[in-house]
Amino acid sequence: MSAVSAQSGPAASGAASGVGPSAASGVGPSAGQRLGSFADRWLLKVFTVGAITYLMIPIVVMIVFSFNDPVGKFNFVWAKFSLDAWMTPLNRPGLADALRISIFVAIVGTFFATILGTLIALALVRYRFRARNAANLFIFIPMATPEIVLGASLLSIFVATATLEPFKSIIPKGIFYPLGLPTIIIAHVMFNISYVVVTVKARIQGFDRHLEEAAMDLGANEWTTFWKVTFPLIRPGIIAAALLAFSLSIDDFIVTNFTSGLVSTFPVWVWGTIRNNLPPQVHVIGTAIFLVAVGGVAISTFLQSRGGKTVAIRPR
Amino acid sequence: MKRSLRPSRRAIPYLLMAPGMLWLVLFFVVPNIQMLVFSLSEGTLRTGFKTPPSVFDLENYSGSLVKFAGNFANSIVFGGLATMLCFLIGYPLAYAIAFRGGRWKNLLLFLVIAPFFTSFLIRTISWRIILGNDGPFLSIVRDFLGLVPANFSILGTPLAVVGGLTYQFLPFMVLPLYVSIEKVDRRLIEAAQDLYAGPWRRGGLIAGAIGGALLMVALQFGLGYASLAGEGPGPTPALISGIMGAVIGGAIGSTLISQSFIRVTFPLSLPGVFAASILTFIPSIGDYVNAQLLGSPKTQMIGNVIQSRFLAQNDYPTAAALAFLLMAGILVAIAMYARALGTEELTGGTA
């Protein structure tokens, strides 16, 4: 027992920051205490590695199975290594269109959601006004609503515009029904607004108002102050929010399934195809999206660490 | 003169919020009102709808609640079990990242959200590959280790659905927990230790044993009930797994849990526990992808019924009523849960 704890001592001392183990504060640690701190240190580490591995397994499976040459129509069982799917990643009817629509929807939806959400976040953080608490609560509700309810309610209103009376005569035919690209984008902007608000709000919470006041004192008007001082400071938050919105949008299935009609995004296309077959191209596209997303996060982390430095050296 | 042309200062926040709020009203509030109207209507897309005030059909609610009681039960049991398992995996993980992460902290957090960079559907498909009858998991557990009989399969059982849900929503559990554990003031823990807070032997043993036993019995019944269609597991396997759970839980509770954790860290992280469980429970109870791809007709959840009623049968009144019943169920669950955890601590944390 003592040999084990001697081994665990130096290795763990670096990791245990701030939390003094009970063994260090006592006079002479009992065997039980030593067992406790040993278990505490190593079991938690083993558990963490295990849990992270669990989270990674399906990603590894996706990447591995993009190199599979499946027997039969479904890429569910490993057969043999092949680069075929990677050489012809879009060689499936409808797949290229679905991917194009996914990217288009994500870009357009992110653009509008980021603008609308950032404006709300600015209002909520920078101004004290009567409806502020109510607005905060209202922003939270769509995030706490299951996606299936968001999708189902949007489908209800879109169908109602074509079938029920108050709407039927007011709203011109073809905007909301039949469903299509416009309805998908409307839905994506809707569910992304709240996420943008929350993300931008978190980043601009510690914003120093004195910088704006200084700019105004030096003769800048409100417009100039916003673009020269406010916007550069909150830009990292806006970029983070846009990236989050983009990734939620490109991955969304449930809401899109309800609002897409005959148009397919990539996830809707996968859902449709899996009834009849599952080509390895699905895994290739999935892997490609994963790699692009990881790259995007790496870049944004880099940009934000730079943005963070600018804020940190501001004069007090 | 110039001043009168500009909006008064008080109007600025309202003007900033107007476009986004208008969007949410038009495409979140109004649609839900329309769905409420549909839920009280009669007819289908093909036959046309009779809407209130000409009809006021509450039968949609009572009838579908009876007819789809099994699917509601599946949703609540699977969603509840998945949330519990997410908590058991997520709390130690969040604790480890917050307190022991050191220089690995950012990397670990990145790995926790990495699943979000792949498609939700593809992650579920991956589990179908892993758990399949010719997949890697059974080839190890069944063929290599011989732990289960040759005709054993996981796909199509509640275990597969709960496993899939647990995986999908684990990051929703870990992130809020991490945020709240990270906020706990370390000086309070040191103070507790200075005041002779040591290991929590007897309490940990008892609490761990009770918790472990309850969890194992809940899992046993929860996973067994749908696959056996009403038979339920006999008392013997439930007793055995209960005892197993008690032994494991007691061992973990008495060796790993310290008094400073149970009296300081855990209570201070309760707001995070509340937020995290809700964020996990809501999407898992409404999900239909996992039940579709990993389950069988017996494991269909209420989401499967809602989506097929809306998208395949165009039976909007029933589907809309089911969607509202789902929302009502979630609100009741949250209210009960908030009361159980103690509202004072929660409002203190969220304010």
Which carries the bigger pLDDT value, residue B47 or residue B319? Answer: B319
Indicate whether A137 pLDDT > 50: yes
Q: Which CATH class is domain B72-186+276-351?
A: mainly alpha
B71 touches A: beta carbon within 8 Å: no
Q: What pLDDT is stored for residue A6 in this prediction?
A: 36
Q: ∠A215-A220-A226 over CA atoms, to 5°?
A: 75
Please state, as a whole number, how many other Cβ atoms lie within 10 Å of the Cβ of residue B276. Answer: 27
Q: What pLDDT is stored for residue A111 in this prediction?
A: 96
Which residues on B lie below 8 Å from A14 (Cβ)? 102
CB contact (8 A) between residue B120 and residue A40 = no
Q: What pLDDT is stored for residue B137 in this prediction?
A: 84
Which residues on B lie below 8 Å from A289 (Cβ)? 117-119
Which carries the bigger pLDDT value, residue A202 or residue A260? Answer: A260
Minimum distance, in Å, between the CA of residue A237 and any CA atom of chain B: 17
Average pLDDT of the residues in B77-100: 92
CB contact (8 A) between residue A197 and residue B20 = yes
If pLDDT is split at 50, 70 and 90, which confidence band does B7 have? low
Average pLDDT of the residues in B23-35: 92
Which carries the bigger pLDDT value, residue B204 or residue B130? Answer: B130
Q: Where are the beta strands (DSSP E) in B267-348?
A: none
Average pLDDT of the residues in B208-223: 79
Q: What pLDDT is stored for residue A39 in this prediction?
A: 62
Would you call B50 helix, strand, or coil by DSSP? strand
Minimum distance, in Å, between the CA of residue B235 and any CA atom of chain A: 32
* Closest B-chain CA to A37: B256
Is the separation of the CB atoms in B176 and B87 below 8 Å? no
CA distances from A83 to A80, A88, A284, A291, B13 (A): 10, 9, 10, 17, 56
Residues 212-251 of B with CB under 8 A from A: none
Indicate whether A27 pLDDT > 70: no
Burial of A43 (0-12, 13-18, 19+ CB in 10 A): middle
Q: How far does Cα A147 stand from its chain's mean position? A: 15
d(CA A155, CA A256): 10
Least confident of A226-230, A302-306, B312-316, B317-321: A302-306
Indicate whether A17 pLDDT > 70: no
* Residue among A59, A156, A160 minimizing CB distance to B115: A59
Q: What number does CATH give the domain A85-312?
A: 1.10.3720.10
Average pLDDT of the residues in A172-187: 86
Q: What pLDDT is stored for residue A22 in this prediction?
A: 40
Least confident of A100-104, A195-199, A211-215: A211-215
Residue type for A101, please? Answer: I
Please report, for chain B, the start and end positions of each structural domain, with discontinuous segments joined by +: 72-186+276-351
CB contact (8 A) between residue B307 and residue A271 = no
* Closest A-chain CA to B135: A77
Least confident of A104-118, B106-120, B146-160: B146-160
Which carries the bigger pLDDT value, residue B55 or residue B5? Answer: B55
Report pLDDT digits (tens) over B223-239. Answer: 766 444 444 455 567 77
Least confident of A254-258, B4-8, B98-102, B259-263: B4-8
Q: What pLDDT is stored for residue A8 in this prediction?
A: 36
Which residues on A lie below 8 Å from B51 (Cβ)? 164
Indicate whether A5 pLDDT > 50: no
CB contact (8 A) between residue A160 and residue B194 = no
Q: Bridge partners of B49? A: B43
Q: At what angle do helices A266-273 and A95-126 cross, to 10 degrees?
A: 140
b/e per residue B315-341 (b: at least 16 CB within 10 A): bbbbbbbbbbbbbebbeebbeebeeee
CB contact (8 A) between residue A149 and residue B288 = no
* Residue among A146, A163, A290 minimizing CB distance to B283: A146
Which residues on A lie below 8 Å from B153 (Cβ)? none
Mean pLDDT of chain B: 83
Q: What pLDDT is stored for residue B2 in this prediction?
A: 46
Report pLDDT digits (tens) over A92-101. Answer: 888 999 999 9
Q: What pLDDT is stored for residue A213 in this prediction?
A: 84
Q: What pLDDT is stored for residue A40 in this prediction?
A: 65
Which residues on B lie below 8 Å from A194 (Cβ)? 24
CB contact (8 A) between residue A258 and residue B307 = yes
CB contact (8 A) between residue A147 and residue B286 = yes
